Amino acid sequence: MSLFDRILSARGIDPSNIADFFHPDYDSAHDPFLLPDMTKAVERLVLALGKQEHITIYGDYDIDGLTATTVLADSLNKFGFKTVDVYIPNRFVEGYGLTVDAVDNIAATGAQLIITVDCGSLSHKEITHANEIGIDIIVTDHHNVALVQPSAVAVINPKRADNRYPFRDLAGVGVAFKLVQALQTRLAGLPIGQEKWLLDLVALGTVCDVVTLVDENRTNVYWGLKVLAQTRRAGLRALMKVSGVDPMNINARSLGFGLGPRMNAAGRLETAQHALDMLLTEDVGVALDKAQHLDSLNIARRSDQDEILKQAEVMVQDYVNDPVLVVSSPGWNHGIVGIVAAKLMERYKKPTFVLQEMGEESKGSARSYGDFSAADAIRASDSLIKKGGGHKYAAGVSLPTVNIGAFRDSVNQFYKSLNLSNQQELLLPTADTTADLSELTEELVSLIAQMEPFGNGNPQPIIKTDNLLVMKVRKMGSDDQHVKIDLKDYTGRTLQFVAFNAPDQFFVSIGDRLNAWYQVGVNEWQGRRSVECRLLHLEIQ
């Protein structure tokens, strides 16, 4: 069996379903009316169109929310709705989700219907208030839900207990897209098939929200990447240009590491409205200006992030024996601390909360892994916080600053109550298969590329090779933070392995023998191509 066949076998892909995996069938999408309350939402929107009611789409300041907002704004316009506003909350003023003040502000514009995207499932108080002042709300969301739904016209969320939809892990933009598909069955203006032009947005939001790239998510991203290559959106074309992304060679990594960070930088440092304006504009000049501004914000974000990380690493030393890290400071931007939490988790192999102290209140983000749910830890600390929630591995929280110490004790006690074991091992890479270096060819790299899009639920294949001899070691980077190692196996084949921002144990010595976990790719330099491996983990024998 060839190395590629062994990889496919490890993923459960056999000859009978290989065609479906490599070329997902868009037309096999699930029926949108299987989602809870979808019929109610469609009926309410049909009524709104007949009366030409004033509608406001209430989004979120991350990419999932921004793309979902744009999907609905574009579609409602095509369906013939004449008065559609968008409202994106400011992270630093309003925070995440629906607020009473925002509802009042929207009511003052004359809106009669609010459609939330990527939020709203837990907004019981805010939706009740909207009802009291004569505004209906349709919720489209994918976050965790309560046992009792808020009093909205419809709460469309695949995570509801009464959900009949066969796939539960849609992104927020995926749920919004299903609403569009449902509306196509009742309204003219967007013929069935033309909604595929929305898949550039669906792919971007899906990849950047790190939902699993399986089932309908994989299908939407697979076809969305093809739409992105020829996107009609001036904003996305401009963003690809400033990001150095070649539309003809775009992949999921281009979204997660190229387009995504620039769009998120707007909401992290200033306002996500910059990114939304870029997505909505049809003016090429405006699009380029907005994209360049996002690029400059992303540069500033990286600088701020590095400074916060340095300070946080010093503070962590006071809590290094805690199973869950909780650190805070007045000088940290809570729009950035989520990235810092991810960096600390990666370094210390522990779930991490990073908070900005803002006077009497503190806000921050958590990152987790394995069997520990950050969202559940927040819920277990409900008496100490003002607001909180999110996903298992990424969540947000607001709490009185005086409660930070008690919150730290609470989440650590919650961790201990779970009696978890061997959690750090879950962060180590797991190989799909083993291989000799002689099996690593450019043809293999081309075959692996057919498994795109890669991401959560479908990671790029990892290969392991044992008993490799270190032939050469070169440090790279301004601070010698990167390393390139020449490794030779028993067949005599030698290949280069590279690691960026490498941990200390990667700086091995010539003559060492080691086992290596890696991903294979092609390095192009001055017109020459060669197989090169990205080193993920090693064990010295």
**What confidence tens digit (pLDDT) does each residue in 109-163 have?**
999 999 999 999 999 999 999 999 999 999 999 998 989 999 999 999 999 999 9
CATH class of 31-191: alpha beta
For residues 177 and 71, the answer to whether their CB atoms sit within 8 Å is yes
- Quote the CA–CA distance of 281 and 232 in Å, as a whole number: 11
**Tens-place pLDDT, residues 5-19:** 999 999 999 878 888
- The whole-number pLDDT of residue 524 equals 86
Q: How confident is the model at residue 91 (pLDDT cuts 50, 70, 90)?
A: confident
Query: What whole-number percentage of the chain has pLDDT above 90?
Result: 92
Q: Residue 26 gets which letter from DSSP?
A: G
> How confident is the model over 520-526, as a mean pLDDT?
90
Q: How confident is the model at residue 93 (pLDDT cuts 50, 70, 90)?
A: confident
The dihedral built from the CA positions of residue 265, 267, 270 and 274, taken in this order, carries a sign that is positive
Q: How confident is the model at residue 527 (pLDDT cuts 50, 70, 90)?
A: confident
- Quote the CA–CA distance of 49 and 298 in Å, as a whole number: 40
Torsion of CA 479, 482, 486, 490, to 10 degrees: 130
* 11-41 residues labelled b (16+ CB within 10 A) or e (exposed): eebeeeeeeebeebeeeebbebeebbbbeeb
Burial class (CB in 10 A: 0-12, 13-18, 19+), 146: exposed
Structure tokens at 190: 């967007």
**Tens-place pLDDT, residues 363-421:** 999 999 999 999 999 999 999 999 898 889 999 999 999 999 999 999 999 999 999 99
CATH class of 320-426: alpha beta
340-344's contacts with Cβ under 8 Å and 24+ in sequence apart are 340/305, 340/308, 340/309, 340/312, 341/365, 341/366, 341/367, 342/367, 343/305, 343/309, 344/309, 344/312, 344/313, 344/316
* Strands 494-499, 528-540: pairing kind: parallel
Structure tokens at 398: 């607001």
CATH of domain 433-540: 2.40.50.460
Q: 284-316 vs 234-243: helix axis angle to the nearest 10? A: 50
**Residue 45 identity (one-letter amino acid):** L
> How confident is the model over 310-334, as a mean pLDDT?
96
Q: Which residues pair with 327 in a beta bridge?
A: 354
For residues 198 and 254, the answer to whether their CB atoms sit within 8 Å is no
For residues 147 and 159, the answer to whether their CB atoms sit within 8 Å is no
- Quote the CA–CA distance of 380 and 359 in Å, as a whole number: 24
- Quote the CA–CA distance of 460 and 11 in Å, as a whole number: 11
Residue 453, preceding peptide bond in cis (omega within 30° of 0): yes
- Quote the CA–CA distance of 459 and 390 in Å, as a whole number: 23
Strands in 55-58's sheet, in edge-to-edge order, are 84-87, 55-58, 113-117, 136-140, 154-156
> How confident is the model over 58-77, as a mean pLDDT?
97
Global pTM value: 0.91
Query: Is residue 54 predicted with pLDDT exceeding 90?
Result: yes
**Residue 88 identity (one-letter amino acid):** I
Total number of residues shown for the chain: 541
In the chain, where the domains are located: 31-191, 320-426, 433-540
The larger pLDDT score, comparing residue 94 to residue 444, is at: 444
- The whole-number pLDDT of residue 144 equals 83
- The whole-number pLDDT of residue 17 equals 81
Q: How far is CA 274 from CA 295, 302, 333, 336, 531, in A?
A: 11, 18, 18, 17, 40
Query: Is residue 260 predicted with pLDDT exceeding 90?
Result: yes
For residues 158 and 164, the answer to whether their CB atoms sit within 8 Å is no
First to last CA, the chain: 28
How much is the mean pLDDT over the chain? Answer: 96
**Tens-place pLDDT, residues 352-364:** 999 999 999 999 9
- Quote the CA–CA distance of 200 and 233 in Å, as a whole number: 9
Burial class (CB in 10 A: 0-12, 13-18, 19+), 310: exposed
The 10 Å Cβ neighbour count of residue 327 is 25
> How confident is the model over 504-519, as a mean pLDDT?
96
**Tens-place pLDDT, residues 289-301:** 999 999 999 999 9
Structure tokens at 194: 């033309």
**Tens-place pLDDT, residues 330-354:** 999 999 999 999 999 999 999 999 9
Strands in 352-358's sheet, in edge-to-edge order, are 325-329, 352-358, 361-367, 394-400, 387-390
Q: Which of 30, 364, 326 is nearest to 174 (CA)?
A: 30
- The whole-number pLDDT of residue 408 equals 98
Report the 3 state secondary structure along 373-390. CHHHHHHHCHHHCCEEEE
- Quote the CA–CA distance of 470 and 406 in Å, as a whole number: 49
